[in-house]
Structure 1
Amino acid sequence: MKQHSAQARWELHTQRPLLALAVAFALAYAVPIVDSSAGRPLTLTCTVVEWVVWGSFAADYLVRLVLARQRRDFVRTHWLDLCAVILPILQPLRLLRLVATLTLVGRRARMASQIQLTTYVGGAVIGLLMFGSLAVLSVERDSPNGNIKTLGDAVWWSFTTMTTVGYGDHAPTTGMGRILAVGLMLSGIALLGVVTANIAAWFISRFEKDDVEERRQTAAIEALTEEVRALRAEVAAMAALGGGVRQPVPEGAEEHSR
């Protein structure tokens, strides 16, 4: 139990630093793509930042594994985290580091009870839109037959793909670009389902609260009605009892009446 508490404290204290590192990763990933004329020093710096962020998430996974009470159960229930940590080692591609970091950030965000579902979904939409745009731009910009050449084209394509509108004015032509498109489509459908379910749950909870309040008021009115009926019955019984008993006449009152 002590180890479990230590793991919970670690996850609580490292939540914000890891999110800050994720923001740093986003900037390091975006700069070389947006600024295609970036020199080698800047590109190398961004690459180092990406690996440092990935290393931080890998270290976080190892620490949580050590602090876990049942390590086998931890590995079994956190297999996605393990894959996100291992993938960049097997094939050190920037796109895989992107997917790994997004996965780890999402897993840690879900662990934080203080993060509301709406905030998480909104952050996921913005993150997927941004990273999807940058990723497709990086793989499609140099394609001879591609028509996604600018960041604006990439953002427009990501937005229409995530919403499953698909106007077709911009479309990926490379294999990796099409894989990204499939991922964005599935993510968009999933997030739309979460948003719809969240809104429906909110309306249902509101109706349930109103229904509970109405039932409470109805029960209170019924209880008051029963009390009034009981009081009326008691008053009627006392009146009947008082009418059937002859009241005593004071002395002298009878002679005075004569």
Structure 2
Amino acid sequence: MPPPVPVAEPRIAAWDRRVDWWLTGLAVLFLVAYAWQVLDTSLTPAARVVLEVVLTGTWVLFALDYLVRIALARHRWRFVRTHLLDLVILALPMFRQLRALRLITVVSVLNRQLRDDARGRVVFYVVGSVALIGFVASLAVLEAERYAPDSSITTFGDAVWWTMTTISTVGYGDRYPVTPEGRLVAVSLMVSGIALLGVVTASIASWFVENLRRSDAVVERELDEVSADVNRAELQLAAVLVELRAINDRLDALERSSRPS
């Protein structure tokens, strides 16, 4: 789903605020139906048809959301140019072999709820994103690979193991996709792993920089306070010296006046 809309498109921003949670609910529904369809091998043909209707219906609603955003945009061609990936994600899954790409839309919608203040809640963001992307990728690669000849990913456990080794960029090589759809999932997963690693690295670096700046600010404030105290002490000392000189002058005057003529 699209990134945050710039201020130049207030109608789209208002639409996002209105439907964001509804789209999130649809994404969860899509994910549950897809997981059920992939994992439950004992489904009857009628149940599979029902799940397929749910999957297709939710995907159509995502497509309608994209069309509504285009209709609300003040600069429609610019909106299309800046959201080409969304258009591709929505268009390609019309082909049965690429329907797993619909899950990218689901991940993007759910990720909206995780990425707010990602630097401040990096642990929650990373754990949530890894769990979501890993589960989705495991489902997608299992569906693509389960019945392929010479496939090494035939169970959900195999799929999860392959996903974890791939997203962590370890890649043991004991499990690997052999179908074009599975390899497409692998590429997406590798990119996601690198992106998540970049988020963690950037967040940690930002945390260090912010703490160093905060420490510098504290030191500067303390130095300013010390400097102010020194200035006050110098002023008080100067006042004391003035009083001492005045007292000394009076004593000198008394001494002179007490001397016999």
User: Do these two structures clear the TM 0.5 threshold for a shared fold by scoring above it?
Assistant: yes
How far, CA to CA, are the matches of 1:174 and 1:82 in structure 2?
24
CA contact (8 A) 2:89 2:105 kept: yes
Gaps spanning 5+ residues in structure 2: where? 1-5
Cα drift, residue 144 of structure 1: 2.6
The corresponding residue for 2:188 is: 183
What is residue 214 of structure 1 aligned with on the other side?
219
For the structure 1 residues 32 and 200, does the alpha-carbon distance in structure 2 shift closer, same or farther, using more than 3 Å as the test? same
**What's the counterpart of residue 20 of structure 2?**
15
Task: Evaluate the alpha carbon distance shift between residue 17 and residue 140 of structure 1 in structure 2; reply closer, same or farther with a 3 A threshold.
Answer: same
Deviations, residues 68-102 of structure 1 (Å, cap 9, x unaligned): 2322322222222222222234x244223233443
Mark the CA change 1:175 to 1:196 in structure 2 (over 3 Å): closer, same or farther: same
Aligned to 1:196: 201
Separation in 2 of the partners of 1:113 and 1:8? 17
Farther-moved stretch of structure 1 (231-240 vs 166-175): 166-175
2:153 corresponding residue in structure 1: 148
Report the AA paired with residue 80 of structure 2.
V
In 2, the alpha carbon distance for the partners of 1:143 and 1:81 equals: 29
- Can you list the C-alpha shifts for 1:30-59, whole angstroms capped at 9, x where unaligned? 111101121112211211111222122222
TM-score normalized by structure 1? 0.84
After TM superposition, the structure 1 = structure 2 runs for residues 27-106 of structure 1, keeping only pairs within 5 Å, are 27-89=32-94, 91-92=95-96, 93-103=98-108, 106=111
Separation of aligned partners in 2, 1:216 and 1:79: 50
* Equivalent in the alignment of 2:3: none
CA distance in 2, matches of 1:190, 1:113: 13
> 1:31 is matched by which residue type in structure 2?
W
Offset at 1:122?
A: 3.3
Q: Write the letter of the residue equivalent to 2:245.
A: A
Amino acid paired to 1:130? F
Question: What TM-score, normalized to structure 2?
Answer: 0.83
Identity of aligned residues (%): 39
* Partner secondary structure for residue 145 of structure 1: coil
Q: 2:168 aligned with 1:163, yes or no?
A: yes
Q: Show the counterpart of 1:122.
A: 127
Amino acid in the other structure paired with 2:101:
L
User: Are the structure 2 counterparts of residues 68 and 129 from structure 1 closer, same or farther at C-alpha, using a change threshold of 3 Å?
Assistant: same
Q: Letter of the aligned partner of 1:26 in structure 2? A: L
Distance in 2 (alpha carbons) for counterparts of 1:160 and 1:23: 25
- Contact preservation (8 Å) 1:88, 1:100: no
Question: Contact conserved, 1:54 with 1:101, CA < 8 A, in 2?
Answer: no
Return the alpha-carbon distance in structure 2 between the equivalents of residues 31 and 143 of structure 1: 20
